[in-house]
Amino acid sequence: MIRAITFDLWDTVIHDNSDEPKRAAVGLRSKRDERRHLLCEALNADEPVDRQAVNLAYDVADAAFHKIWHNQFVTWTIRERLEVALEGLGRELSAAAMDRVAVLHEEMEVEVPPDPIEGVRDALRALSADYPLAVVSDAIVSPARCLRRWLEMNELAQYFSGFAFSDEVGRSKPHRDIFASAARQMGVEIDEMVHIGDRDHNDVKGPHALGMKAVLFVGTRDHDRHHTTADAICEHHRELPGIIAQLAVVDRAMRQP
């Protein structure tokens, strides 16, 4: 039976890239451009470097990150990604410079934060009255400590009793370890959880392979709507309590002799 609920963060709780208009409004570079600028600036402080070479090295590091993320279910830290870019450039940064660049990367989405998705606070409040909730999220750029800060800043952390971030667990979705971490924290079995997320491969087929139920959230990103195997599709967070209640009814009916 359903005894707990796990939530993806990006484009499920957090409206990804909703911070970009805020950055533009105050004259800041896009996050993509700023990340490359930070590395270029740090290198130029020691010895001039070609900006196009930095961009290429950064792009190669990003491509390597995505391959490892998708194939090995691991999310490199920002420091690890920067080290790949530096190796490609044949350059090094001092420990202090690396620390500065890494922290500026990591805290970018805390300094100018993206928005919570409409209705998510009310949904979390309602669901947490009946179920323990946990975050199960990949840390792509912002690490766990910054994602926790974002949740606290937006008064959402209080609704979760578990937090499984890929940089802390050591594995990313859909690996069993990240869901098992959430299950342990909530005191339930993996197959007693239902997961809510926006990507069919990571947030639906991954949980299904572990015996969980899964809800595809399409309120912000609906790329997977037409080929999902989700147990339900949610278009707005106001629908979530009803969807979970219906899944629980069906689950109980299926378990009856």
Task: Tell me the HSE value of 157 on the side-chain side, using a 13 A CA sphere.
Answer: 13
Gap between the terminal Cα atoms of the chain: 14
Q: What proportions of the chain, in percent to the nearest 5, are helix, strand and coil?
A: 55, 10, 35
Averaged pLDDT, 215-244: 96
Cβ proximity of 164 and 182 under 8 Å: yes
Q: Is the whole-model pTM more than 0.85? A: yes
Question: What are the start and end residues of each CATH 3.40.50.1000 domain in the chain?
Answer: 4-17+114-255
Q: Which token pair is 21?
A: 């208009």
- Quick one: fold of 4-17+114-255? Rossmann fold (3.40.50)
* Cα 156 from Cα 176, distance rounded (Å): 25
User: What is the total residue count of the chain?
Assistant: 257
Confidence band, pLDDT 50/70/90 cuts, at residue 252: confident
DSSP-assigned letters across all residues of 138-154: --SSS-HHHHHHHHHHT
Q: Which pLDDT tens digit goes with each residue over 31-90?
A: 999 999 999 999 999 999 999 999 999 999 999 999 999 999 999 999 999 999 999 999
Q: Is 27 exposed, middle or buried (0-12, 13-18, 19+ CB in 10 A)?
A: exposed
pLDDT at 159 over 90: yes
pLDDT at 243 over 90: yes
DSSP-assigned letters across all residues of 197-257: ES-IIIIIIHHHHTT-EEEEE-SS--TTGGG---SEEESSGGGHHHHHHHHHHHHHHHH--
